[in-house]
């Protein structure tokens, strides 16, 4: 088997970027461990405060003050009452305790247990109000005595909660749900805001929790993060656990792999901060969010327009909710933001077009792979042509090697001279390997965030958005897991066959270490791919098979090696002008050769 160093450079770069990417996406796990003690301390403090509050609570009729803070107790005649707003997409449950949403059921999505997805069950939005006599009531403790269910108007369902405070001011929480919407509009009306609020400022406390919906909570936690719009620009935090906002906040979302719970302020919060942590235990909890937001109101009769989104991370749906909110769908961020245009303007439209007339998403991915290979075919052909030229030059390279012996610098200079005379690009063989890098990262982001793949079966895979498993191991292998993915095995096998073929087609085997490359790279893929979505490993399998077929056709049928040799002889006779790069490279090699000669003379 033969190979050249340029092809190996391509594979090494590809492997390096693979590991860089997965190191970057997984490094938060180490950072979470560093925050573990901080989280445990915080939880202990919260529990201690809750225990203290429970001990001090005195549930009697009317209002009672504890430490200067009024605790609004339930009145015997006012009990907690649940109400429902419902359309074809969601069922929203509200309570007159705090006058807020207490749970949302997504009617078109199921979790890993085949139950309907529930969001918002552990979500609370609170704010304090002054109720007179230096007393403060926390709104989430108040039982709103008046519940008004409004008649539908153009398909919009409405419900209103009303509470008249002890000092005679009125607070109204008005909720509305339109047809074909996931978001619940929440309008807070304060009649007497000058009295109810301090310094005309309302301080919101929003606590939210997310729970496992997918096959494995470990991977879903890794995909979870906090997304927000600050100063009109999208941003997110993944490894950090705290954030203080310096600019107005339009929205904040607690994001899972395929769903999110997002608080939207139509006027924007003036300031705020948040603290969030991923769960560290083995429960089905993913993350917790505690946040504080401040907003100013004007006039004695104030209105604050909020919206609560409970729904899927679907690009087109999120785009209609709030500016920049569609960026919750991770199509490429930070170091890999360069793949976002590939996803947004190429892969998403083509995928959607194909899915418009093919219902099985496994075959959609198959056709998408063929499309990708077709548009990259010209570059692939150029690469194989370059490899064929280098193979034709092998006898001359061997002769130069024999003549110069172990003088690597002199051989490199003569090799460059030969390539220049023959019109050969020595880096041309790297193109297929390098070309896969942006495509792979684009598809990794696309398949990880594409909710349309969720629950879609193909062949032996029951869910293309998660790994396929044909066997479960009684133990877990570090970096591999406790399952065997068949699509991973097919991807690794086809990668191995492709590496073997490429090495057989390349002209030299100067470096003995290179003979191990066909074995090293597929083994790395085995560990990298085993926990990834089966959509990605299926794509990689198909792509490898197509690449092998293209290589066979191009090398055996299309490329004429005799014609290549004749063209090389013609180009040798044509006067050539050195490029700046070639001139500098030769100067560098000359300088290195002089230094080496000087060292050799010194040793003598």
> Would you say how long the chain is, in residues?
604
What does pTM read for this prediction? 0.75
Report the mean per-residue pLDDT for the chain.
79
Token couple for 68: 């200067």
DSSP notation for 174-193: EEEE-TT--EEEEEEEEETH
DSSP notation for 188-220: EEEETHHHHSBTTEEEEEEEEEEE--SS-HHHH
Q: Are strands 225-230 and 82-86 parallel, antiparallel or unpaired?
A: unpaired
Contact 162, 139 (CB under 8 A): no
Q: Of the candidates 307, 309, 317, 206, which has an alpha carbon nearest to the alpha carbon of residue 266?
A: 307
Q: Are strands 285-296 and 201-211 parallel, antiparallel or unpaired?
A: antiparallel
Task: Compute CA distances 265 → 295, 309, 329, 351, 386, whole Å.
Answer: 9, 11, 20, 34, 58
Distance CA 421, CA 366 (A): 42
Token couple for 551: 């290589």
- Residues of the chain with pLDDT below 70 are 1-78, 381-394, 396, 403-412, 414-415, 417-434, 502-518, 557-604
H-state helical runs in 356-456: 361-375, 377-392, 394-404, 408-422, 431-449
Q: What pLDDT sits at residue 129?
A: 92
Q: Of the candidates 67, 65, 97, 64, which has an alpha carbon nearest to the alpha carbon of residue 83?
A: 97
Q: What pLDDT sits at residue 11?
A: 56
Contact 585, 419 (CB under 8 A): no
Q: How many CA atoms lie within 13 A of 9 on its CB side?
A: 9
Distance CA 344, CA 215 (A): 27
Residue 185, Cα to own-chain centre: how many angstroms?
28
Token couple for 560: 């004429």
Neighbours of 416 (CB within 10 A): 16
Distance CA 116, CA 311 (A): 12
Q: Are strands 146-153 and 156-164 parallel, antiparallel or unpaired?
A: antiparallel
Q: Of the candidates 253, 561, 562, 198, which has an alpha carbon nearest to the alpha carbon of residue 385?
A: 561
Domains of the chain: 57-329 (2.70.98.90), 339-585 (no CATH)
Contact 465, 533 (CB under 8 A): yes
Token couple for 5: 């160093």
Q: What pLDDT sits at residue 64?
A: 29
- Name 65's bridge partners: 70
């Amino acid at each position: 088997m033969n190979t050249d160093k340029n092809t190996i450079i391509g594979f090494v770069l590809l492997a390096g970027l693979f590991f860089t990417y997965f190191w970057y996406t997984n490094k938060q796990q180490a950072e979470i461990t560093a925050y573990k003690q901080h989280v445990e301390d915080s939880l202990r403090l919260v529990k201690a405060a809750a225990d203290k509050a429970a001990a001090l609570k005195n549930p009697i009729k009317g209002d009672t003050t504890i430490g200067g803070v009024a605790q609004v107790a339930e009145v015997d005649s006012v009990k907690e009452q649940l109400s429902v707003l419902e359309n074809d997409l969601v069922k929203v449950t509200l309570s007159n305790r705090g006058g807020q949403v207490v749970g949302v059921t997504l009617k078109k999505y199921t979790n890993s247990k085949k139950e309907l997805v529930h969001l918002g069950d552990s979500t609370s939005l609170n704010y304090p109000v002054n109720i007179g006599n230096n007393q403060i009531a926390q709104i989430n403790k108040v039982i709103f005595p008046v519940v008004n269910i409004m008649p539908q108007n153009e398909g919009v369902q409405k419900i209103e909660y009303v509470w008249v405070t002890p000092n005679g001011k009125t607070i109204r929480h008005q909720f509305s749900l339109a047809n074909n919407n996931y978001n619940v509009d929440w309008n807070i009306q304060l009649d007497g805001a000058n009295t109810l609020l301090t310094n005309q400022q309302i301080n919101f406390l929003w606590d939210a929790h997310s729970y496992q919906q997918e096959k494995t909570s470990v991977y879903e936690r890794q995909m979870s993060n906090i997304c927000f719009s600050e100063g009109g620009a999208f941003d997110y935090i993944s490894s950090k656990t705290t954030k203080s906002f310096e600019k107005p906040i339009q929205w904040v979302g607690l994001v899972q792999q395929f769903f999110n719970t997002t608080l939207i302020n139509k006027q924007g919060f003036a300031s705020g901060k948040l603290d969030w942590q991923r769960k560290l235990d083995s429960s089905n909890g993913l993350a917790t969010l505690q946040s504080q937001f401040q907003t100013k109101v004007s006039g004695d009769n104030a209105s604050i327009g909020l919206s609560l989104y409970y729904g899927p991370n679907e690009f087109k749906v999120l785009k209609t909710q709030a500016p920049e909110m569609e960026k919750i769908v991770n199509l490429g961020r930070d170091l890999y933001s360069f793949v976002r245009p590939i996803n947004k303007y190429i892969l998403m439209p083509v995928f959607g077009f194909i899915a418009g007339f093919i219902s099985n998403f496994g075959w959609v991915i198959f056709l998408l792979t063929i499309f990708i290979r077709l548009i990259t075919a010209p570059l692939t052909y150029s690469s194989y042509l370059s490899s064929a030229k280098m193979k034709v030059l092998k006898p001359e390279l061997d002769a130069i090697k024999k003549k110069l012996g172990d003088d690597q610098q002199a051989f490199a200079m003569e090799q460059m001279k030969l390539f220049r005379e023959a019109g050969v690009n020595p880096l041309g063989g790297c193109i297929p390997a390098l070309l896969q890098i942006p495509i792979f990262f684009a598809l990794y982001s696309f398949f990880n965030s594409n909710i349309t793949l969720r629950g879609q079966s193909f062949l032996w895979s029951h869910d293309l958005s998660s790994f396929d498993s044909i066997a479960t191991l009684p133990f877990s292998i570090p970096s591999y897991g406790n399952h065997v993915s068949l699509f991973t095995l097919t991807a690794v096998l086809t990668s191995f066959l492709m590496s073997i073929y490429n090495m057989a087609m390349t002209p030299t085997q100067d470096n003995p270490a290179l003979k191990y490359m066909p074995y090293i790279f597929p083994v790395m893929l085995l560990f990298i791919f085993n926990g990834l979505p089966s959509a990605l490993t299926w794509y990689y399998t198909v792509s490898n098979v197509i690449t092998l077929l293209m290589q066979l056709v191009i090398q055996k049928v299309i490329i004429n090696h005799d014609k290549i040799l004749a063209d090389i002889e013609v180009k040798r006779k044509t006067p050539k002008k050195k490029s700046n790069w070639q001139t500098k490279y030769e100067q560098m090699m000359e300088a290195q050769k002089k230094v080496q000669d000087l060292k050799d003379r010194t040793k003598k």
